Amino acid sequence: MDVQLLTFIIVGASFILYIAIAIWARAASTNEFYIAGGHVHPIANGMATAADWMSAASFISMAGLISFMGYDGAVYLLGWTGGYVLLALCLAPYLRKFGKFTVPDFIGDRYYSQTARTVAVFCAIFVCFTYVAGQMRGVGVVFSRFLEVDITTGVVIGMGIVFFYTVLGGMKGITYTQVAQYCVLIFAYLVPAVFISMMVTGHILPQTGFGATLADGSGVYLLDKLDGLSLELGFNEYTSGTKSMIDVFCITAALMVGTAGLPHVIVRFFTVPKVRDARYSAGWALVFIAILYTTAPSLASFARVNMIETINGTELKGTEYKDAPSWVINWQKTGLIEWQDKNDDGKMFYAGDDRNEMKVDADIMVLANPEIANLPAWVIALVAAGGVAAALSTSAGLLLVISTSVSHDLLKRNLMPNITDRKELFYARLAAGVAICIAGYFGINPPGFVAQVVAFAFGLAASSFFPAIIMGIFIKRMNDKGAIAGMLAGITFTASYIIYFKFINPAANVADNWWFGISPEGIGALGMLINFIVAFTVLKLTAEAPANIQQLVEDIRYPQGAGAGKAH
């Protein structure tokens, strides 16, 4: 069978599985819609959390960025992994003890303010829409290649699947669907990595193949070969960085604290019965995440070597693609790879200087890797299913946050406190439907490539939610006015910086024009500091939090009880 037919079969089978799980686990109440009834097993929740957190950026783009950027791409690996550890140790148990199942719910009650709750709602919606744009873009990239439809059609198909199990199942349906999606995506990520590691280095484990010698008997180490190829072709040495240390630090910090402030990850810890289970599920999630994240650098390196050796020196007849490697022919139809014969020699050449004739989108590297390595068709189809699973799993979690922020935090807890449970569930599903339509628009018209867009979302989360949550847990005196001012200052500064350099004046987006040498991807770290500074300044000028709120904070600092989070 050819790749397209196998892709239809494998991706179609995964869709049937997700829909069947959604029907089986459909939500019947707001408690099930918001937190799956609070009865999810820690291991299952750890697997669902891993799927929720490992988005299209992790599956599709991260290895692609490392492949193209080398050492500089490691900031994504370090930031996202470190951020999850920060979330598991510093936030999850305390928020679970507090018993609120959304970030705006926590902020509204902790800071005893409907204004704080409303600001948090809009921050959550802003962050989630920025993040979900990257996920829908990932769905479109996968479908445009493997189902041979345009990106718009691919996004619409993805919207339909997410709509079904998000609106019908809520958190309960999403949780068990994400367990299945994790199994699909991790299998799809590991199989080609193992295949290629054995082909390139002879090691069955990609993690050990990364530091091994090549299987051709030359005795040359994989990374040494990459360094040599990079320098020969006009790139920087693969294992050395070009970013300034302050930018590396700020990007890593923004990704770390942004991860810890992402509302769709935080809400997962309310789906387990006890605080102890929240800790266990965080630990399990880290194990499940580590399987992919320790594989990414090796997969990126294998893809880099294979891509260069496949492209460079390929002789074409005329200026047509028909004599190009099959993977180039397949991917050029999507517009994500292009060739321009600058010197009219009829040969493709990929380089990092004026000799370059190839434009290769970083988002295709993981998806194209099995084709570049000439792996079996079923492996190529499996990777397509994994890419879709990664994008859909995170999209569902983000859309649920948007839905609950509108129905529970904005309506039930603010504008319409007397609505019934059934009416609240209706508004939650309506909000999810509207959110999916908006997300689809951003997927069709994305403001950047997948990992870049997601990095902006982390920066926005870092500058808005993280300081408010940290101060809410560890600073008893912090009041509502300080938290509100800090959130507004942090997210306004960060969003303005990103919008200016990426959309208003992209020509100015160079290191010489950045504040303190910090790129838009890392500016969330500075936005976070501004949030803290503004919050503490306002606290100094106003009355500290009431005694009952300070006692509440003291109670959640010792997360010993069950702290059941229920809809109310």
Which pLDDT does position 527 carry in this prediction?
94
| CA–CA separation, 515 and 534 (whole Å) | 19
The single residue listed with the structure tokens 């004026």 is 354
Distance CA(304)–CA(298), nearest Å, equals: 10
List, as one string, the DSSP characters of 33-76. Answer: HHHGGG---HHHHHHHHHHHHS-HIIIIIIHHHHHHHGGGGHHH
In eight-state DSSP terms, residue 222 is H
Q: What is the pLDDT of residues 432-476, one digit of tens each?
A: 888 888 878 877 776 555 445 666 777 888 888 889 989 998 999
Please report, rounded to a whole number, the percentage of residues in the chain having pLDDT higher than 90. Answer: 18
Type of residue numbered 20: A
Find the radius of gyration of the CA atoms of the chain: 24
Q: Please give the pLDDT value at position 539.
A: 95
3-state secondary structure of 213: strand
Tokens in use for 175? Answer: 């949780």
Q: What is the pTM of this model?
A: 0.80
Please say whether the dihedral angle defined by the alpha carbons of residues 161, 166, 171 and 172, taken in this order, is positive or negative: negative
Residue-by-residue DSSP string for 319-345: T-STTS-HHHHHHHTTTSEEE--TTSS
Lookup result for tokens 């929740």? 45
pLDDT at 28: 66
pLDDT tens-digit series, residues 346-363: 788 888 888 888 888 887
Contact call for residues 120 and 136 (beta carbons, < 8 A): no
The Cα–Cα gap between 100 and 117 comes to 12
Q: Under 8 Å CB-to-CB from 49, ≥6 apart: which residues?
A: 265, 268, 269, 281, 282, 285, 288
* CA 42 to mean position of chain CA atoms: 22
Residue 158 has pLDDT above 50, yes or no: yes
Q: Give pLDDT, residue 213.
A: 92
Q: Are 87 and 104 in contact (CB under 8 A)?
A: no
Is the Cα torsion angle 75, 493, 107, 265 positive or negative in sign? negative
- Tally the C-alpha atoms within 13 A of residue 93's C-alpha that lie toward its C-beta: 18
Tokens matching residue 418: 């007397």
Which residues sit opposite 221 in a β-bridge? 213
Phi first, then psi: what are they for 339, rounded to 5°?
-130, 135
Burial (Cβ within 10 Å: 0-12, 13-18, ≥19) of residue 415: exposed
Instruction: Indicate the range of 24-33, 110-119, 444-453 predicted with least confidence.
Output: 444-453
Q: How far apart are the first and last CA of the chain?
A: 53
Q: CATH 1.20.1730.10 region(s) of the chain? A: 3-304+374-556
Question: Regarding the domain delimited by 3-304+374-556, which CATH topology (the fold level of the hierarchy) does it fall under?
Answer: Sodium/glucose cotransporter (1.20.1730)
Which tops the pLDDT comparison, 91 or 288?
A: 288
- Residue bearing the bigger pLDDT, 405 or 447: 405
What residues pair up with 140 in beta bridges, in sequence order?
Answer: none
Quick count: other Cβ atoms within 10 Å of Cβ 506?
11
Phi and psi at residue 347, in whole multiples of 5°? -120, 140
Question: Considering only CA atoms, which of 499, 533, 501, 532 is closest in space to residue 517?
Answer: 501
Over 60: is that where the pLDDT of 298 sits? yes
Give the separation between CA 543 and CA 2, rounded to whole angstroms.
69
The segment with the largest mean pLDDT, out of 19-28, 133-142, 167-176, 242-251, is: 242-251
| Predicted confidence (pLDDT) per residue in 168-197, tens digit | 667 777 788 888 888 888 999 999 999 999
